[in-house]
Every structure is written in structure tokens, then in C-alpha cells.
Structure 1
Amino acid sequence: MQDELEIMWIAHRDELRAFIARRVPCQAAVDDILQDVFCKTLSHLAQGHVTQPRGWLFAVTRTTIADHYRSRRPTVELPSSLASASPDPSVGAPRAMGACLKPMIDALPEKMRAPLVMADYEGMRQREVASRLGISLAAVKSRVLRARLQMRRMIEECCQLELDARGSITDFVVKPGGCSRWSAVGTEN
């Protein structure tokens, strides 16, 4: 293994140094990154054999360069006033949306509603839900997924949503007809 490492490193070291130097202007940082790549190579080769050494070395090098820049990113302490500026999810749109969800959940067929409530609202692991309901884990996963998709369709039919950049609901408007029409949905499926 030592011979394999030495051969691989000698064959690619200069090419790796040039690759790093094109991306990192500081020569000392280039040497540090190259040494980090060598250390990662040592630890990985102790665990097993690399089938594509050149590609693997360049992948490790790209990751190490990214880690170098990530660690150098300047951080600024945020003012404490920003902490109080974030919205409280227990009030406003998310809380009001929660009140709209009850009739939708109630409208789901029981075989989909029970796993969804246990997994998403009671916080049980899906394996535990399967055990409690006496069904397979695959069945629980399928039912929870189908229930989530059904809930999404109901919400999109019922409400006009406004989302932030992360996809979180910031506001919503109930469409005409509201959530009242979900009382008959449970009998459809």
C-alpha cells in the first residue's frame, strides 16, 4: 500500500499543485491545501484501494479547496435586534394555516390519516407507526407520502400561498369556498 501511495502521489503531485495554484493565489495556501490532500489520501488508502486515482485525487482536491475558502469566509456578529425581528411561527399565517389543516386532515381516508398524524404530528418514527398499526414499514411510508401529497393538493386548492425564498409560508389567503369543501374528500378515496 505504501508503494501504491508513493507511485500515485508522485504521478499526480505536480498536476495537483498547478490545479490548486490556478484557484488559490497564495503560495502558502497552495502548499497547505496540497498537504491536506496528501493527508486525506493517506487516511483513505488505509481504508481501501482507489480504482480511479487521478479522478479521486482531483475530487478530493476540489473539496479541499472549497473547504479552504469556506473556512476563510469572514463572519460578522449579527446585532441582537435581528433576533427579535424574525417572525414567530406561533402567530400569524402559520398559526392560521394550522387551523385550516384540521378539516383537511379529517377529510383524509382513515388508512392515510392515522399514519400521517402519528408520524408528522405526534412525531413517531415510521417504524413505530408500522408496529402500532400492524402494517409493514413500506405501507406506512407509502400511506404517509400519499397523505402528504393529498394534503398539498387540498391546501393548493383551498388557499393562495405566499412563500419566502426557503419555501416557508409567509402569508396565505383562503380562496372563495374556503376549507369547508373538505368534509366530503375522505369518502372519495
Structure 2
Amino acid sequence: MTIEAIWPKYRASLKAFLHAKVADPDDVDDLLQDILIKTYQRLEEIRDSRKVKAWMFQVANNAIIDFYRTKGRAKTLSAEELWFEQDDPGVHEELATCLMPFMQALPEDEAEMLTAIDLHGQSQKDYAQEKGISYSTLKSRVQKSREKMSGLFQECCELSLDTRGNIIDFDKRDKSCKMC
């Protein structure tokens, strides 16, 4: 067992594994290099050649864990540096006044379901069990009801979203909208 024989065999698989866990391609390349070094340094410790692949993936997994630990300890940001993550409570408070009229515009069963799940925090599984509905059916109904609710908001207001889909601002499309 030599590094020259093993590395080409598993390199692509390891890189794909790293890409699934780490977003930045440069970080993936750095981790891959670390794995190569550790493999080179410790390859002779492995007695059973059938376990090389599992061992290399364990090394990769440990490298990912170490990477995120190091990254997490790297720097604590101040509130000023995180200004872009701070929500404007005014936007959410203003839209909250629209919520109940939109809920009431939905069919009664959909409004009841979204109120229980989204406003009161009841789990979908519990709600499905309580109503005697299959869980997968309920998930589908919740998704469709949320889409209807979103459509009502979109008819009345133009929502500005951040990269995570959170509302950061809105403008009324039609000043005569009775919902908001």
C-alpha cells in the first residue's frame, strides 16, 4: 500500500464528500490537502488494506469537524458588523396587522390549520394525528395553504426578501387593499 496507489483511487470520492459538507471550493481544496498529508503520514499504520477507504473517509470527516470548530472560534463579530442580520421590527409589526385578515380570507379549515401550526406552534404530526389525517397529506395541505397565504400577500404587497427568504421590507401594490 503506497500513497501513489491509494490517493488517485479515492481522491475524487473524498472531494465530492467534502463538497457536500463545505460550500467554499477553496476550503475543500485545503481540506483535501490536509487529508492527503494525514494519509501520507499514517498510511503505514493501517494493517488491513480493505479498511483504507473507510479510514480515509473518517479522516475526512474529522477534518470537516476540525474545520468548522476552528472557523467557529475564529472571530466573534460585534453588533455593528452584523447590521445586515438585524431585523427591522417595524416591518414585521406592520405586516402582523395584515395576517389575520389574510387568514380569514382562506377557507376555514386552512385558516384553522395554519393558525394551529404556524401561529400556535403545534407540530404537523400532532395536528395530523388530532384530525385523523395522514402526515404526508397534511404536509401537502400546509404547503398549499402557505402558498395561498403568500399569494394573498403578493396580491396586496410587494415583499422584499433577503437571501434567506426573510422579509426585510414591503410596499403596498394597491393603496386600496383592504387587508393591510
Match of 2:37 among 31, 36, 39: 31
Alignment correspondent of 1:14 = 4
Give the superposition deviation at 1:175. 1.5
Unaligned 5+ segments in structure 1 are 1-9, 46-52, 183-189
Q: Which amino acid aligns with 1:155?
A: F
SS of match in other structure, 1:157: helix
Contact kept in structure 2, 1:116 and 1:147, CA below 8 Å: yes
Cα 1:63/1:167, change in 2 over 3 Å = farther
Helix, strand or coil at the partner of 1:100: helix
Match of 2:93 among 84, 95, 103: 95
Amino acid at match of 2:165: G
Tell me by how many angstroms 1:149 deviates: 0.8
Contact 1:118 1:124 in 2 (8 A): yes
Deviating more after overlay: 28-37 vs 108-117: 28-37
Task: Provide the rounded CA distance (Å) in 2 between the counterparts of 1:35 and 1:95.
Answer: 58
State the identity as a percent. 25
Rg larger in structure? 1
Distance 1:128 1:29, change over 3 A: closer
Q: CA deviation at 1:80?
A: 5.0
Question: 5+ unaligned residues in a row in structure 2: which ranges?
Answer: 15-28
- Match in the other structure for 2:156: 158
Q: 1:38 and 1:114 mapped to 2: Cα distance?
A: 64
- Higher RCO (CA < 8 A, seq sep 6+): 1
* Matched letter for residue 14 of structure 1: E
Deviations 1:108-166 (A, max 9, x none): 10121211111111111112112322333233222211110101111111111112222
1:36 touches 1:64 (CA, 8 Å); kept in 2?
no
- Alpha-carbon RMSD: 4.3
Q: 1:124 aligns with which of 122, 131, 135?
A: 122
The code of the aligned residue for 1:141 comes to: K
Is 2:105 aligned against 1:114?
Answer: no
Q: 1:24 to 1:163 in 2, by over 3 A?
A: closer
3-state SS in 2 of match to 1:92: helix
